[in-house]
Structure 1
Amino acid sequence: MKQGALIFDETTDRYDIRFDLADYYGGLHCGDCFDVMIGGKWKPTRIEMNMEQEWYLVGVRAGDLNGLRVRL
C-alpha cells in the first residue's frame, strides 16, 4: 500500500493524493475508496460530493480534507 496526503487540485476541482514531490495518484473521483488516518488508526472510507458541490469522506468528520494522511 502507498501512503500520501490529500491535496486539492484547483485546475481540476478534484482532490488528489500526493505520494512524493512529483508522484501523484492522478485525481480522485466520487466513489474512490481508500483508508484515512483518524485518531492514530486507519479507517476505510470513500470520497463523495454533496449537492452543494462539496467534497467529503464517508464516515469521517473533517472540516478540511487537505493534508489528511491516506493510503491505498
Structure 2
Amino acid sequence: MIQGRLGYNSANDRYGLLVSDLWENDGFHCGEPLEVLVDDKWVGTRMEMSIDHEWYLVDTPYKGDLEYIQARIEK
C-alpha cells in the first residue's frame, strides 16, 4: 500500500494522493478505490462527485474539502 494524504490538484481539478509533497496519484477519477482513515480505522471508499460538483468519499463523513485526509492506495 502507498500511504499519504489527499490534496487538491488545480492542474486537473481533482483530488490526488500526496506522499512527502509529491504526487503519487495526481488525480482520482470517479469510482476509483482507495482507503481513508476514519476514527483511527482504515475504511474502503471511492472518490465521487455530487450533482452540485462537490467531491466526496462514499460511505465516509468526508465531503467538500478533502485536503489532508490520510489515505492509501494499492501499489
Identity %: 36
How far apart are 1:22 and its partner, in Å?
Answer: 2.7
Q: How much has 1:57 moved relative to structure 2? A: 0.3
What RMSD, in angstroms, separates the aligned Cα atoms of the two structures?
A: 1.2
Give the C-alpha shift of residue 21 in structure 1. 3.0
Determine if the alignment matches structure 1 residue 48 to structure 2 residue 52: no
Q: Counterpart of 1:48 in structure 2: which amino acid?
A: E
Distance apart, 1:23 and its partner CA: 4.0
Q: Which runs of 5+ in 2 are unaligned?
A: none
Q: Which runs of 4+ in 1 moved over 4 A?
A: none
The TM-score normalised by the length of structure 2 is 0.87
TM-score normalised by structure 1 residue count: 0.90
Unpaired runs of at least 5, structure 1:
none
Per the alignment, residue 37 of structure 1 pairs with 37
